[in-house]
Structure 1
Amino acid sequence: MTDPLCQFSRSFPDLAASILHRDRHKRRNFREETITDILIAGLTAFEPFGVRVDFPADESKTGDDMDWEFVAPRATNGRRYLRLHIQAKRAIFKQRTRKPSYWLYEQLDHEAQLHAGYGSQAERLINSARAQPCCVPLYMFYHTLGGLQPSGSGLPAIEGVNAIFADLLRPLLTANPPARGNSGWSVDDKKVEKWRPHFMPLSDLLCFGGIAALPVSSNDGRVAFLVRWMNGLISPGMLADRLNARKRRSIAETELVDTASIEAVEQIPQATLRAIETPGAGRGGAEIERPRAIFLSGDGG
């Protein structure tokens, strides 16, 4: 049997693709923020299972990026905490009449601030994550129905939601460093097909648990079954192992990725512990930089 969060991780990409498909032929498009907001809002349904969702007190800080924290306070192996800093980008379709059309992430080289230079957002994402222990920078890509493709020819599926390691963009930052007056990245650098070999499905980040039917004996000798969601399996240590396996695969395919290992650490930030100890405290607005989801593991890490 599949746990509810795992089911969500496999169904939400289709929902995201359908929502983005609705804006075709319209002057106003749904942006990354729309899908990110819906994704974060969807995770609130899992608060009874140990997920905590907080939003910044300053609404201007909400946008197309978010933090996911995986926490196992009772882990005895030292792997109690891992954080994902996620930046979202949506793909758009470029229709051409005389040449092949294509999908691309038009804002992949976005400026973080005015005159900061093309690609400065990616630079800040990677550098800020590297400055903090156990923080993994990821890009989460959103695709509409017209751009979806099944896996094949050794390539992962293009789904409504896919993720890649942000470190993959580092060579672009080196070759084309963010600077005022920079002309931006090439179209080829922003095409979906360039990044597809490194796609991870949303389920790689959220699908860990399972539903167990545990036998329980009654006083009259009959045996009943207690259904329990094994949320203890959503642990920072297991996620780190999975991400490392994915990263090794990317390294085998290209030399673009930093070979540093992803490690869950023992120290849990005090702000995160406060959020866990006081469920719902952040719903009215927390002192955080961006929307945050905390995935609490009830067992070891």
Structure 2
Amino acid sequence: MLTYDTIDSLCRAAEEAGQPISQVVLADQAEQMEASPQALYARMLDSLKVMQNAVQAGMAPDLRSASGLSGGDAAKMQAYAATGGLTGTFLNRAMARALAVSEYNACMGKIVAAPTAGSCGIIPGTLLSVLDEGRCTEHQAVMALFTAGAVGMVIANRAFIAGAQGGCQAECGSAAAMAAAALVEVSGGTPRQCADACAMALKNQLGLVCDPVAGLVEVPCVKRNVGGIAIAFTAAEMALAGIRSRIPVDECIDAMREVGEALPCSLRETAQGGLAATPTGQAVKKRIFGSREG
């Protein structure tokens, strides 16, 4: 059985089996959970469908959160994507998908926490873009979610995935690493390339603080999801090009843990520092909650 304590062990298991990471993870989970691979696949397919529904619902132009801080930006991004923008229609539509899911979460919609609600737009923004743009099959997308999930399990076991523990690097950073691995796999990359993509994604968000304005998972969380997908795509592209991470992925995870533990309390989801402490951030908090403390 797999222990999910290192990415390296996942890669070695996949290499020894001559299979993608997803395949060995699915077989292992079926054994550990005493369920059939078909049943687990069906459950993961359901998660993919929830992601797709969240993208669709989050695109509504009139969508607004109770605070008024979120909603409507995904529709703007989707409309802008039609122009091609600076980076082309593909990336702009991916950005719109990430915004849609994140805004839908802020509006209390049903999402997949992958690995958390605060980072819920990154995997849909990347993987569904590849699927919807015809660059992979539904089966490949579902299997890639098993790879992403395995990466998330290792990060959770070796470090943390909660902003309250390690800052936003633990949420959006972990999600970007998970998404990067999934992208490499659906693109035909090797398990080691998946690991390199994870490492490069983590390195690019190392030290990212968690500073939600008014304590809500909206500002800057929603737009950080968009940044996360850009990092996931670039990390995957570098890995697929044959670029290696100089620091092994498991050491990157360890570094993320050490950095997270060193962050002051004010920068770990308490809304006491960073953007939450700016004059505008404080004004937003007062508008929403009045003069109440907390």
TM-score computed with the length of structure 1 as normaliser: 0.27
More helix by share: 2
Q: Quick one: higher RCO (CA 8 Å, sep 6+), 1 or 2? A: 1
More strand by share: 1
